[in-house]
Amino acid sequence: MTSLDTLVSKYAGPELCPPCAIKETVEINDPKWRMLIDALKKKNGFYAFESSLHLLPLAEAFGGIDLVEWNRADSWKAAYTSFDLSGLICFAENVFGEQFCLDQGQVGRFDPETGEVVLMAETLDGWAETIIADPDYHLGFVLAHSWQEVNGALAQGNRLVPKKPFVCGGDFEISNLVEMNALEAMRFRGELATQIRDIPDGSTVRFDWSI
């Protein structure tokens, strides 16, 4: 059994969407998509580790956000006006909205507050192995569990967003976290990442976070 099989069979919650036809907009012959398609045939989207991991479904039968819609250039990626995100396929996210993505055939983690991508694994199976080995570090599992003990379960489609951005010194604590729609949160953070991209460390930033 592969690590991806283990993630799906042992840790994943209910399938988010019944198996459905692959959208025409997906390039089936693209090997980057093929890895995801094969994985999503096992389970078409799910939450795991008490919602600290969200894997997007390939196609959403109920009108929600799916893998193709999430990666549209005119969706949240449009807020990152100073970044070229066209090569990223974001297929999952942790509880803080950090995106797990395919980048040039490898798997990375995209920081929504800085626009930076850090390599995690050479393959999707390697990514799953890394997640299983340390869900707290990669997903924020312990903090997600603690927040939900106090505030109740996260609603589907929502993530935990810092009131004071992490990149600006915000704490990884329950008191600094608020539940927010994932798409709206990514747009907010895209504006932040664009604003601070070229300023020196320690500079003063004025930003209307409004959450």
pLDDT digits (tens, 9 = 90+) for 18-28: 766 555 545 55
pLDDT of residue 66: 85
pLDDT of residue 15: 85
Distances in Å between the alpha carbon of 72 and those of 7, 47, 65, 78, 86? 27, 22, 11, 9, 9
Q: Per-residue confidence at 210, pLDDT binned at 50, 70, 90?
A: low
pLDDT of residue 40: 81
Q: Per-residue confidence at 179, pLDDT binned at 50, 70, 90?
A: very high
Q: Per-residue confidence at 67, pLDDT binned at 50, 70, 90?
A: confident
Determine the angle formed by the axes of helices 31-40 and 124-133, rounding to 10 degrees: 50
Instruction: Decide: 20 and 61 in contact? Cβ < 8 Å.
Output: yes
- C-alpha 116/C-alpha 198 separation (Å) is 13
Instruction: Decide: 164 and 170 in contact? Cβ < 8 Å.
Output: yes
Position with higher pLDDT, 103 vs 180:
180
Position with higher pLDDT, 105 vs 192:
192
Share the mean pLDDT of the chain.
Answer: 87
Whether the predicted pLDDT of 205 surpasses 80: no
Among 22-31, 44-53, 63-72, whose mean pLDDT is lowest?
Answer: 22-31
pLDDT of residue 31: 66
- β-pairing verdict for 117-121 and 177-181: unpaired
| Nearby residues of 176 by Cβ (< 8 Å), 6 or more positions away | 162, 163, 164, 170
Whether the predicted pLDDT of 90 surpasses 60: yes
Q: What is the pLDDT of residues 127-161, one digit of tens each?
A: 999 999 999 999 999 999 999 999 999 999 999 99
Average pLDDT over every residue of 84-94: 94
Q: Per-residue confidence at 207, pLDDT binned at 50, 70, 90?
A: low
